[in-house]
Amino acid sequence: MKGIILAAGKGTRLRPWTNTTPKPLLELGGKPILSYILEGFSSAGVDDLHLVVGYLGGQVKDYYGDSFGGMKITYYEQKEQLGTAHALLLAEESLKGGTFMMSWGDILCEQENYPALRGFHESNCFKATITLNEVDDPYAGAAVYVKDGRVERIIEKPPKGVSTTKWNNRGIFMFEPVIFDEVHSLEISPRGEYELPQAIGKMIEKGIPVGGMPIAGFNSDIGTIEEFHEYEDYLKKKTAG
């Protein structure tokens, strides 16, 4: 199975650490952030990995080379920060032939979630499946409305205090090639980007089945130094038993 990880961001909220080191290579619990995600993909049966890099991407290429955990790695450079959908299109020719797994390059969770996501997606015959984490208010991410495992609505960055769901888009996905039809029809967002959640929203509007699977265990997007230390503490406690 093929997979793609989007790891082109600058990690501005993790400065000064990211002034000279790309966010995917920041060490957490003795190894780079990206290695946890790569291990998860490998555990789900991914053997052909596509890695989108950008800021200080040469360091990522030098560190991992052309393989990891039995997976062949192909690199793509996102030269302009034009959004997650734009990053996905860089690997379209390779990915459009079948089912593939995808993740943002900074989402950490228990490894068991990756094979669970694949199984959930395949057993329910969804055309796309997103992972969910529970939050007090999903205003900072994407509010996801789910019924019986199927996503009914996604609202990207809703105003604070208006959502009636606590489910947030966690950022790990399974897709069938139909996602590319919707990505190609996207218009640029108010943020000046082509955003993947908008494409998923279009699938839902058309009645194309999209699944939603809750993430099990502690998880984080390691967006800030505080979140970095929180996950670091979690790993220490987990290791200590």
Residue found by looking up tokens 């790309």 in the block: 22
Q: What backbone phi and psi angles, to 5 degrees, belong to 198?
A: -65, -40
Query: How far lies 171's CA from each of 17, 64, 70, 240, in Å?
Result: 23, 22, 24, 28
* Contact yes or no for 173/131 (Cβ under 8 A): yes
Residue 227's pLDDT is: 93
> Which top CATH class is 2-240?
alpha beta
- Please choose, from the candidates 158, 176, 175, the residue with its C-alpha nearest in 3D space to the C-alpha of residue 167: 158
Residue 124's pLDDT is: 95
- A 10 A CB-CB count for 191 gives 11
How far apart CA 126 and CA 129 sit, in angstroms, is 6
User: What is the per-residue pLDDT across 158-168, written as a single tens digit (0 to 9) for each?
Assistant: 889 999 999 99
User: What is the per-residue pLDDT across 208-240, written as a single tens digit (0 to 9) for each?
Assistant: 999 999 999 999 989 899 999 999 999 988 887
Residue 1 pLDDT > 90: yes
Mean pLDDT over each residue of the chain, to the nearest integer: 93
User: What is the per-residue pLDDT across 69-128, written as a single tens digit (0 to 9) for each?
Assistant: 999 999 999 988 888 989 999 999 999 999 999 999 999 999 999 999 999 999 999 999
How far apart CA 152 and CA 211 sit, in angstroms, is 9
User: What is the per-residue pLDDT across 129-170, written as a single tens digit (0 to 9) for each?
Assistant: 999 999 998 888 888 999 999 999 998 888 899 999 999 999
pTM (predicted TM-score): 0.94
